Amino acid sequence: MKKLLVTGGAGFIGSEFVRQGVKKGYKIIVVDKLSYAGDLERLKEVKKEITFYRTDVTDKDSLKHIFKTERPDTVVHFAAESHVDRSILDASPFLDTNVKGTQILLDIARKYGIERFINISTDEVYGEIKGKGRFYETTPLNPNSPYSVSKAAADMLGRACHRTYGIPVITIRPSNNYGPWQYPEKLIPVVILRALNNEKVPVYGKGKNIREWVFVSDCADAIFKILEKGKIGEIYNIGSGEEKRNIDVVKTVLKLLGKSEDLIEFTKDRLGHDFRYSLNSNKISKQIGWKRKIHFTEGIQKTVKWYVDNMKWAKSKKTGLG
């Protein structure tokens, strides 16, 4: 069985991937600096089955030691600063982690002859859609926030290193993930926590911005299928086909919690706020045979229930960012 080195494996999506990987029988090495958004609690059920290194992806010497010691076959690179609002306040950490960290990993992967380098990007690298249509893997990149610019740079670094050095990179661009264990600075957990405390729920602008939502376990499942069946050098979108206006997501959560829509408080819109993201995911469906299993109706119910049952963890992570 392949040995996977998973960066950001104590994060939201990375930890779901690690938990699934252990069940599949993979040998997994997790590398995570445990920033504010990283938490080993997410890995408590598999902690005896994994090897963990508390290391920053910008720490070249530590990473070289890990590669030399562990000799992984595959790198799955989740580690990233990921919150748009934080990038607007200060872009520096995003450039350090997302760009420099990716470059360092690629350099080391090249040296150690990695069989596959799975580079996790985002749909935000495409920019926005104001009318109809969807993003294809061939759509030109047009990022609009410091976060998405840093991810686009990391995305392109991976592709450039594949062409220039032959590093076996596969690029993955998922849509908005949601589900258990998400750090409460993102929309859905923010709404849940504030509503449960009967606090005002902030919604940017009029809440008309549209996102495509994929349940985190479906996303991790798709990444495994790409890891196992994907073609080196290719790009794969991961989307659910389910688009929702932010205001409708908020109202759905409030309804599930039995809370009044009077809690909604419209706030000044985010700077440079992208209007709509929508992915065409035919490629992964036709070439690899993946499709999402969990519809939004089911996924949001699971998510709300998880946070209600795990309020102690969620409150311990609460942030003022919405």
Q: How many residues belong to the chain? A: 322
DSSP per-residue string spanning 21-77 = HHHHT-EEEEEE---TT--GGGGGGGTTTEEEEE--TT-HHHHHHHHHHH--SEEEE
Which region, left, alpha or beta, applies to residue 207 given φ > 0 means left and ψ of -120 to 50 means alpha?
left
How does DSSP classify residue 139? S
How many beta carbons lie within 10 A of that of residue 137, not counting itself?
Answer: 17
Q: Give me the residue label for tokens 């799955």.
A: 76
Catalytic residues: 123-124, 147
Contact 174, 219 (CB under 8 A): yes
Cα(187)–Cα(202) distance, rounded to whole angstroms?
A: 9
First-to-last C-alpha distance (Å) of the chain: 41
Helix (H) / strand (E) containing 176: strand 176-178
The encoded tokens of residue 313 equal 């963890």
Amino acid at 87: S
How does DSSP classify residue 132? S
Q: Is 187 exposed, middle or buried (0-12, 13-18, 19+ CB in 10 A)?
A: buried
How does DSSP classify residue 12? H
Helix (H) / strand (E) containing 301: helix 296-309
Cα(269)–Cα(243) distance, rounded to whole angstroms?
A: 20
Contact 173, 279 (CB under 8 A): yes
